[in-house]
Amino acid sequence: MKKFLPLLLICLSLNLVSNAQSFELMKKDGYALVDGSINISTTNDSTTIEVPVYVKNISNKVKEVLVNVYVKSMVDGSAASYCWGASCFDIATSTSTSFTTIEALDTAKEFHSDYNPKRYPGVTEIMYTFYNRNNSDDSISFTVNYEIVVTSIDYISELKESIRAYPNPVQNFLNVEYKLQDYQNANISLFDIVGKRLQTQEIYNNSNTVQLDFSDLKSGLYIWTFEVDGIPIKTEKIIKR
């Protein structure tokens, strides 16, 4: 029995080495990501937030590394993606379709997670796992926690001031100018004085002018409304000559 003991110890040692973690995560500032999470709280609710993370191969062998994504929670209407190596993927792609080769003791700096709240407040949690494509147990993970606080009052006030309609009174076409920083669904609707919807113009540009056609309407009083995501931002009366 004793002569098998050294062999058994060698086998156990090799098994431990093969399952040892080969990676270390670092933030952009070069410090190790020791707690496994990055927390972001911001009121910057309309711009894409980029979170870069460096992946270091701390082993003495070359590693071919893939990324797996697990969305713990995500605010409806927001958007997320990630880039690894030369490719970028929508968050719906749970595993990167291409791997990055990291030389022994080298660091890959090509990863970043992107998140755009699109003005929707709330908390989004996304976990990323880097793993050796030849041994999925050889992996390391971290979670990005995004907390978005929307300054909706300031935004609505700013948007309302940017909307301008002319001429009033109108004969044929009413021009409505607007300037949006970001939006999901925006439109301008025209109603008669009793509230019947006569026209709706969908908005497809962040900054532009649209026209409402009055040429076939009778003279009288009308109402137009500018809406974003179903919320009336500005409503005014208009006279048709």
* Beta-bridge mates of residue 83: 88, 112
Mean pLDDT score of the chain:
86
Residues 80 and 137 in one domain: yes
> Is there a single domain that holds both residue 41 and residue 92?
yes
CA atoms within 13 Å, Cβ hemisphere of 207: 3
Do residues 35 and 136 share a domain?
A: yes
Shared domain check, 142 and 33 = yes
Q: How many domains in the chain?
A: 2
Of 105, 128, 148, the residue at which a domain comes to its end is 148
Q: Is the pLDDT of residue 53 over 80?
A: yes
Lowest mean pLDDT among 46-50, 59-63, 83-87, 166-170: 46-50
Same domain, residue pair 46 and 143: yes
Please give the model's pTM, rounded to 2 decimal places.
Answer: 0.59
Domain range for residue 187? 152-240
* Residue 12, in any domain of the structure: no
- The answer to the question of residue 15 being in a domain is no
HEC-encoded secondary structure of 21-56: CCEEEEECCCCECCCCEEEEEECCCCCCEEEEEEEE
Residues 35 and 134 in one domain: yes
State how far the Cα of 70 lies from the Cα of 45, in Å rounded to an integer: 23
> Is the pLDDT at 154 greater than 50, yes or no?
yes
Are 230 and 159 within 8 A, CB to CB? no
